[in-house]
Amino acid sequence: MSGGLSVGIDIGGTKVAGGVVDPDGLVVARARRDTPHRSTSPSVVEDTIVDVVAELIDEAGDDVVAVGIGAAGFVAADRATVVFAPHLSWRDEPLEANLQRRVPVPISVDNDANAAAWAEWRFGAAQGHSHVVMVNLGTGIGGAMILDGQIMRGRYGIAGEFGHMQVVPGGQRCECGNKGCWEQYASGNALVREARSMMTAGSPMASDLLDLVGGDPSSLTGPMITEAARDGDATATELLGEIGQWLGIGIANLAAAFDPGVFVIGGGVSAAGDLLLEPARATFRRHLTGRGYRPEARIVAAALGNEAGLIGAADLARRDALERAAAEGA
Direct distance between the N- and C-terminal alpha carbons of the chain, in angstroms, rounded to an integer: 19
Q: What is the per-residue pLDDT across 119-147, written as a single tens digit (0 to 9) for each? A: 999 999 999 999 999 999 988 898 999 99
Residues 6+ apart with CB under 8 A from 109: 68, 69, 71, 75, 79, 80, 82, 95, 96, 99
Q: 144 and 93 share a domain? A: no
Domain residue limits at 29: 5-119+306-329
How many structural domains are present in the chain? 2
**Average pLDDT score over residue span 213-234:** 96
One domain, residues 97 and 222:
no
Does residue 158 surpass a pLDDT of 90? yes
Residues 208 and 85 in one domain: no
Sign of the Cα torsion 322, 326, 328, 329 reads positive
Q: Count CB atoms within 10 A of the CB of residue 15.
A: 18
38/173 same-domain check? no
Average pLDDT over the chain reads 93
**Cross-strand pairs, 136:** 142, 266
Of the given ranges (39-43, 92-96, 190-194, 220-224), which has the lowest mean pLDDT?
A: 39-43
User: What pLDDT is stored for residue 44 in this prediction?
Assistant: 85
pLDDT of residue 2: 55
The model's confidence at residue 1, banded by pLDDT at 50, 70 and 90, is very low
pLDDT score of 90: 86
Same domain, 271 and 167: yes
pLDDT of 41 strictly over 80:
no
Tell me, yes or no, whether 108 and 145 share the same domain. no
Q: Residue 175: its pLDDT value, please?
A: 84
Pair (166, 291) in one structural domain = yes
Indicate if 154 and 232 belong to the same structural domain.
yes
Residues 133 and 89 in one domain: no
Considering the domain architecture, whether residues 294 and 183 belong to the same structural domain is answered as: yes
- In this predicted structure, the answer to whether residue 40 has a pLDDT above a threshold of 60 is no
CATH code for the domain in which residue 12 is found = 3.30.420.40
93 lies in the same domain as 51: yes
Model pLDDT for residues 241-262, shown as the tens digit of each residue: 999 999 999 999 999 999 999 9
Q: Say whether both 88 and 156 belong to one domain.
A: no
